[in-house]
Amino acid sequence: MLIKKPADIKPSEITPESVYRNRREFMAAGTRLMLGAAVAGALPSIANAQDGDRLKARAPTTMSRSAPAPWWQEKFADIKPAPDSAPFYTGETLTPYRDVTRYNNFYEFGMDKSDPSSNSGEFKADPWSVEISGEVAKPGTYHLEDILKPHALEERIYRLRCVEAWSMVIPWIGFPLADLIKRFEPTSKAKYVEFETIIDRDAMPGIRSRFAIVDWPYREGLRMDEAMNPLTLMVVGLYGNYLPPQNGAPMRLIVPWKYGFKSIKSIVRINFRETKPHTTWNDLQANEYGFYANVNPAVHHPRWRQDKERRLPQTLFSRQYMDTRLFNGYGEQVASMYEGLDLMRNF
């Protein structure tokens, strides 16, 4: 319908896959997996999931409960599990839920990695709407329920590589961005897709900060072929559960062959353009943050080498370093889009 108007959890305590596969045992545990206190009262339990019981990973079972929201419960009741092979599954050890949700860059909530989880308590992900504009046949403002309604959710386990040289492996829940784009019927003039993050001055203290360096709203963009690539995912959950605010609730982008800053969070506007859009970090420092932002071990950031990465979690005495792969290891799926493009200049 078009509208016109976590408690401390050790990695060893995360429920093992054997439990996910046993629905009776999972139900007997009496757990109801929730988004968290920041959006308590807005989102439902998914304890009654069907295919979702076979997910590769679920969030810890000590998350806050909230009142049911029927349409959300319906969407999360039948999630297609990740396959057992690439490119939608890595086979690598998952980054623990605690680290995924407590080590974040989301400057609207603050500059430190812990700020998003600490400062997002007032953020509300419901109600939510997304404006669709530009070179499309069906522009308008759509309620989140109507955005998600036609799309089946699936689990995908992707590597996430930050330009700051740390990385994670995360089980996301979402659907292909291409499927969403097709619904709005882009015209032949639509060469790029532009995204914007919400501005919520009351709930996002980073926006109010006099030390903020960003010209809000946060903006990102993709070429149309990148947006339509099967790997590009519109995400509404992780670890079998809803997105916490610090991870981009209620809807964010994941582009796994690009550095993390391209995967914009808490999307409220999608604009289809004929010309390349301005993007936040590229506007701030073009010589450090390219528009493409493809993971490339041969192109170093002035402050961080890109040929190595630190895989989280880590401690002072335990750090895991590994070689970084071109396109974050997804070259087979995406390299053809950049044939003839100088990746040293177009970084």
More confident of the two residues 262 and 50:
262
Per-residue pLDDT for 168 more than 60?
yes
In terms of Cβ atoms closer than 10 Å to its own Cβ (0-12, 13-18, 19+), residue 164 is: middle
Q: What is the mean pLDDT of residues 33-51?
A: 36
Query: Domains in the chain, start-ordered, CATH in brackets?
Result: 79-338 (3.90.420.10)
Per-residue pLDDT for 157 more than 70?
yes
Query: Among the listed ranges 52-56, 247-251, 295-299, which one has the minimum average pLDDT value?
Result: 52-56
Angle at 310 between CA 338 and CA 240, to 5 degrees: 80
| Max mean pLDDT range (32-46, 56-70, 226-240) | 226-240
The mean predicted confidence, pLDDT, of the chain is 86
pLDDT per position as a tens digit, 326-344: 999 999 999 999 999 999 9
Q: What is the mean pLDDT of residues 120-142?
A: 96
Q: Give pLDDT, residue 112.
A: 96
Identify the CA nearest to 196 among candidates 271, 99, 105: 271
Per-residue pLDDT for 321 more than 80?
yes
Q: Which residue has the tokens 């740390």?
A: 166
pLDDT per position as a tens digit, 179-189: 999 999 999 99
More confident of the two residues 34 and 285:
285
Q: Give pLDDT, residue 38.
A: 36
Q: What is the mean pLDDT of residues 121-127?
A: 93
More confident of the two residues 73 and 18:
73
Q: Give pLDDT, residue 315.
A: 80
Q: Give pLDDT, residue 191.
A: 98
Query: Among the listed ranges 87-101, 213-227, 307-321, which one has the minimum average pLDDT value?
Result: 307-321
Q: Give pLDDT, residue 107.
A: 97
Q: What is the mean pLDDT of residues 153-165?
A: 98
Q: Give pLDDT, residue 301.
A: 96
Q: Give pLDDT, residue 317.
A: 81
